Structures are given as C-alpha cells and as structure tokens.
C-alpha cells in the first residue's frame, strides 16, 4: 500500500514551530487511537453503529457475550486477528517507534489492540497498551492466571479458520482458493463447537479468551501504574501528541489533562477537525488535519530522519 498525500497537509509555519518545540522537548507522551491504523486498512468498530454482521460490535466485546456464546465471540476476534495480521504497520507506526528508540523518556499510550505498533519495532517498555492486545490470550477461569503474549497463530485453532470458496476451473490452472469475508452477513457463518475452541493448557478446564479489555472490565493495573508513575515524576512534560483519537472519553481525556497540568503543549493529528480533546484546544496547541500515516512521519522527520519503504520491516510478523 502506498502512503501518499494528495495535497500539502501541514502549514509550513506550524511544522516549523512544532519541530522547534520537539527539538527542545525531553519528556514526551503520545496517545494513540484507531485513526493511527486507518491507513493500514483495518476496519474499525466504533460507536453505536459499529456492526459486525448483524451484531453490535460493542455488545460482542463483553464478558457476558463470551459466557453466552464463546464461539461467536471467538469468530469475531479471530476475524480481527486475521485482518490485523494481513495489515502492515504504516509509516506513522515506524516513525513513533524510531522516536522511542532515540528518546528513552518518550512513552506511548495506545488504545489500539491491533499489534501494529509492536510489529513496527516500538520498544515494549515504552509502549503502554491500555486495552490489551488481540495477540494475547488468557484463561477465562476466575482462579487461573494463565496468560500468553504475542500469539500470532492464525487461526488460533483450526475450527476458527475462515471458510473458503474454491472456484470451478475451466482451464488447466490450479484451483484458486478465495477466503470468504465472514463480516458479510450474507456469508454463512460456520458452526463452531465448544470443544473445538482454544483451551487453557494450564488448568485444562477454562476456555482461552482474547487478551483485550472488554466493556465492564478494569484496565490493566500494571499499565495504569506505569503511566501514573511516569506522569507523577517531578519533571515537566514537554509535549503530548494525540494521534487518531478524540481523547474525549476517560481515561484518555485525563491523560491530556495530566500532561497539560505538567506544562505540556498539545499536538493533535486527526482527519476530523472537530475531534479536539475534551478540554479543547489552547492558543499554543497544534491541530494537524489529515492522515496520520502522512503527517506523523513529516512532523518527526527533523528528529528521526525520513521513513523510507526499505526501513519498514515487519520484524514481529516475520519472526513468527
């Protein structure tokens, strides 16, 4: 996929003032949302109208849905895992990863579960996954603490493989196999037996479940602790970049407020000019309207150099 801009997106004076401030900045925070991965071609399931087949995606992302129909929930998440693994990190993911490597006091809070930031080589100790990851799995039994990270097996069990359509060849060519898109309600959804879903290898009783934070669940305490400790340090925060998220809902909105209270200037990158943080925009803030995959590498180029196609190696994926 080519990541090109149809027109200049960044006013030169804003680019200059941002890069001058970035050069002076020591402690930098980034807050990432689904808009960061939009250029990687991932479907998003946000808002009341977010449907997967005929199901409200938000209703599938609950412990109650998993208890009621674990097969359906696993089909939804297996589909998302498959889509994420077939997407590639875009230049913005790589640019943020490079900035983290150059600045050990830069941390990133990501609301994304798609695994693209880790696959772009973002240092794990500087990447705080607020909502978990599609590629972590854990036991659903209350008293079992089994957790497996970076499970990129696709499908995670054979029963969750996407159905295929084998075309009827009219020549001597080999039969072409096409994966069917099970997000389309007109495509029959295969039945999945409970016994064929992934089981916990530790307790041997519980079903494994996706290691994401579902509605009604607590955010990861270790992640929150790390963020709170970093924010509470006596030194000022110089800059917070809010990329691909409106940051209107807590705790995301709270991180913007906390950074402001420590002296940070705010830089927003978003395709919707109305998606300002909950606290609004201040005089010295920046709003860069457009595609994060184009804008973020340009903003950071003065510190990290240019992100070239040959630099974009999907290290995590190729090691699987």
- Report, as residue numbers or ranges, the catalytic residues: 131
In this structure, what are the phi and psi dihedrals at residue 66, rounded to the nearest 5 degrees?
Answer: -65, -40
| 203 annotated to a ligand binding site | yes
What SS3 class is residue 197? Answer: coil
| 200 annotated to a ligand binding site | yes
The residues, ordered by sequence, that sit 6+ positions from 133 with a Cβ below 8 Å of its Cβ are 113, 115, 118, 149, 211, 212
Beta-ladder partners of 128: 109
Tokens at residue 310, please? Answer: 């040959």
Contact at 8 Å (CB) between 303 and 20?
no
Integer CA distances (angstroms), 250 to 31, 146, 258, in order: 12, 29, 12
Tokens at residue 8, please? Answer: 């200049």
- Angle formed at CA 274 by CA 270 and CA 275, multiple of 5 degrees: 50
- Give the number of other Cβ atoms within 10 Å of residue 148's Cβ: 16
Contact at 8 Å (CB) between 276 and 267?
no
Cα 141 from chain centre: 26
Sequence-ordered alpha helix ranges (H) in the chain: 12-24, 57-60, 63-68, 70-86, 91-102, 116-119, 221-232, 252-261, 292-304, 315-318
| 222 annotated to a ligand binding site | no
| 106 annotated to a ligand binding site | no
The residues, ordered by sequence, that sit 6+ positions from 286 with a Cβ below 8 Å of its Cβ are 14, 17, 18, 265, 266, 267, 268
Residue 76: closest CA among 210, 206, 196: 210
Q: Per the annotation, where are the binding residues?
A: 139, 144, 200, 203
Q: Per the annotation, where are the binding residues for Zn(2+)?
A: 139, 144, 200, 203
């Amino acid at each position: 996929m080519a990541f090109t801009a149809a027109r200049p997106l960044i006013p030169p004076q804003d680019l200059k003032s941002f890069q001058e401030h970035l050069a002076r900045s020591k402690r930098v925070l980034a807050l990432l949302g689904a808009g960061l991965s939009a250029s990687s071609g991932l479907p998003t399931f946000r808002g009341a109208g977010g449907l997967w087949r005929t199901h409200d995606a938000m209703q599938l992302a609950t412990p109650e849905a998993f208890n009621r129909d674990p097969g359906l929930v696993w089909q939804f998440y297996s589909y998302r895992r498959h889509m994420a693994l077939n997407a590639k990190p875009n230049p913005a993911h790589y640019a943020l990863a490079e900035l983290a490597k150059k600045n050990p006091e830069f941390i990133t809070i990501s609301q994304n579960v798609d695994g693209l930031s880790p696959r772009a080589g973002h240092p794990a100790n500087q990447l705080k996954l607020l909502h978990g990851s599609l590629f972590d799995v854990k036991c659903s039994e209350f008293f079992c603490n089994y957790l497996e990270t970076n499970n990129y097996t696709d499908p995670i069990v054979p029963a969750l493989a996407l159905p295929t359509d084998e075309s009827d060849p009219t020549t001597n060519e080999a039969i072409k196999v096409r994966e069917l898109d099970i997000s389309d309600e007109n495509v029959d959804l295969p039945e999945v037996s409970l016994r064929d879903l992934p089981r916990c290898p530790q307790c041997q009783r519980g079903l494994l479940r996706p290691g994401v934070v579902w509605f009604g669940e607590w955010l990861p305490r270790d992640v929150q602790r790390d963020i709170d400790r970093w924010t509470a340090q006596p030194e000022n925060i110089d800059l917070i970049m809010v990329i691909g998220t409106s940051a209107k809902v807590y705790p995301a909105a709270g991180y913007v407020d906390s950074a402001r209270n420590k002296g940070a200037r705010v830089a927003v990158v978003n395709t919707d000019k109305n998606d300002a943080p909950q606290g609004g925009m201040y005089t010295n803030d920046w709003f860069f309207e457009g595609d994060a995959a184009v804008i973020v590498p340009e903003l950071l180029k003065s510190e990290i150099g240019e992100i070239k196609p040959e630099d974009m190696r999907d290290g995590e994926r190729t090691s699987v």
